[in-house]
Amino acid sequence: MAKVLIIAEQRDGRLKKSTFELIGASHAAGNETHVALLGESIAGLAQELADYGAQKIHVGDHTGLKFYTSEAYAKVLLPMIQSLSPGIILASHTPTGRDLMPRLAAQLNVGLASDCTQLSFAGEQIQVRRPVYAGKATVEVEFLGAGPRMATVRPNAIGIPKPDSTKQAEVISLTVALGTPVTRVVEVIKGTSARPDVTEASIVISGGRSLKNAENFKLLEDTADVVGGAVGASRAAVDAGYRPHRDQVGQTGKVVSPSLYVACGISGAIQHLAGMRTSKIIVAINTDPEAPIFQVADYGVVGDLFTVVPLLQEELKKIRDH
């Protein structure tokens, strides 16, 4: 059993599912599970963290923490970590977690295993495996020297446990002294899409160049909306200007690991496969029966996406409305 600190993540007062994954895994392994929660007016989120197994919740509630900056977060977290002295520190490999954790690792003079897709606890240690070459291979990470052990974990890699609202946690207030910041978030430009991020969604529906134009991606968007999914794209589709780069799945885009990945009209270039092959279930829809994507697909449909996807959308609606 170890003393584990999980750095919770919230945006606009909503906790990330990936935070629940980490808490659930630590709790299930019988660890003493601490959670750090920073932000402005976020104390009300503590119970939700407790529902997933957090035992002690360290809350830093301050107007200077309204927006994440590594500078402000580290100022609050470093002294807290030094006094708590956890054996293991975990965060999600998200835009916030991946930005923050190296700073803390350098300040604590320890190593960090990034973007892990497998995590298990063994006494005071963690065992982690992570993809390299965007998933063309995986490696085990050996930590050298003294702890704490630090890792960021890819969203969706663990799975979310069932919450239990009868669970209780102790809430501890953190001292927040920020001084004059060097980095400041001066504006937030909100995405117009209500869809989840391609790296966080549990279902991703992706399209390739065969979609022919940007407008045709509406077919995939409408299908994704039936199941609360995100829309991804191949590099060819992004290079053709059909989708923004932030939706690109592959070695030079996002690496995703959803429960379900549906590749529509994507041939399966090696650099695309690298970005999605850790998905739990892969569906390929393609007119070319020899397309490499079928080699990694759990379910293959040889057919024209413009015929198959609308039918698929109707069938998914039936399941949803059932």
Partner 1 sequence: MNIYVCIKQVPDTETKIKLTSDQTGIDVTGIKWIISPYDELAIEEGLRLRDKNPGSTVTVLSAGPARVVEAMRNALAMGADSAIHVDLPENADNNWVAKSLAGALKKESKVDVIFTGKEAIDDGAAQVSQLIAQYLDISYVTVVLGAEYTATSVKCKREIEGGSFEIVESNFPVLIAAQKGLNEPRYASLPNIMKAKKKEVKALKASDVGTSEGDQKIRYKNFQLPPPKQVGKKITGDPATQAKELVRLLHEEAKVV
* Interface of this chain with partner 1, residues 196 to 215, rule: CB under 8 A: 196-197, 199-200, 202-203
Vertex 93: Cα angle to 3 and 234 (nearest 5): 160
Q: Cα dihedral angle (292, 294, 298, 301), rounded to 10 degrees?
A: 150
Amino acid at 300: G
Q: What is the per-residue burial (b if ≥16 Cβ within 10 Å, else e) of 126-153?
A: bbbebbeebbeeeeebebeeebbbbbbb
Radius of gyration of the chain (CA): 21
Which residue lies nearer to partner 1 by CB, 20 or 56? 20
Residues 140-159 that bind partner 1 (CB under 8 A): 140-145
Choices 50-58, 156-164, 166-174, 243-251; region in contact with partner 1 by CB under 8 A: 243-251
Q: How far is the CB of 288 from partner 1 (least distance, A)?
A: 13
CA distance 132 to 259: 21
Q: Are 204 and 231 in contact (CB under 8 A)?
A: yes
β pairing state of 230-233 and 203-207? parallel
Which residue lies nearer to partner 1 by CB, 83 or 183? 183
Of 172, 109, 175, which is closest to residue 143 (Cα–Cα)? 109
Amino acid at 42: I
Q: How far is the CB of 46 from partner 1 (least distance, A)?
A: 23
Q: Assess 308 for contact with partner 1 (CB under 8 A).
A: yes
* Number of other residues whose CB lies within 10 A of the CB of residue 230: 25
Q: Assess 178 for contact with partner 1 (CB under 8 A).
A: no
Per the omega criterion (within 30 degrees of 0), is the bond before 148 cis?
Answer: yes
Q: How far is the CB of 263 from partner 1 (least distance, A)?
A: 12
Choices 31-39, 42-50, 210-218, 275-283; region in contact with partner 1 by CB under 8 A: 275-283
Query: What secondary structure does DSSP assign to 110-129, as a single string?
Result: --EEEEESEEEEETTEEEEE
Among 131, 148, 232, 268, binds partner 1 (CB under 8 A): 131
CA distance 218 to 200: 20
Among 173, 213, 245, 288, binds partner 1 (CB under 8 A): 245
Which residue lies nearer to partner 1 by CB, 30 or 310? 310
String of contacts with partner 1 for each residue 35-74, x by CB under 8 A: --------------------------------x-xxx---
Q: How far is the CB of 169 from partner 1 (least distance, A)?
A: 26
Q: Assess 173 for contact with partner 1 (CB under 8 A).
A: no
Three-state secondary structure string covering 54-80: CCEEEEEECHHHCCCCHHHHHHHHHHH
Choices 52-60, 82-90, 189-197, 204-212; region in contact with partner 1 by CB under 8 A: 189-197
Residues 76-115 that bind partner 1 (CB under 8 A): 94-96, 98-99, 101-103, 105-107, 110-115
Q: Assess 14 for contact with partner 1 (CB under 8 A).
A: no
Q: Assess 292 for contact with partner 1 (CB under 8 A).
A: no
Which residue lies nearer to partner 1 by CB, 1 or 311? 311
Q: How far is the CB of 75 from partner 1 (least distance, A)?
A: 12
Which residue lies nearer to partner 1 by CB, 57 or 113? 113
Choices 36-44, 51-59, 139-147, 207-215; region in contact with partner 1 by CB under 8 A: 139-147
Angle of helix 95-108 versus helix 70-84 axis, rounded to 10: 50
Q: Assess 124 for contact with partner 1 (CB under 8 A).
A: no
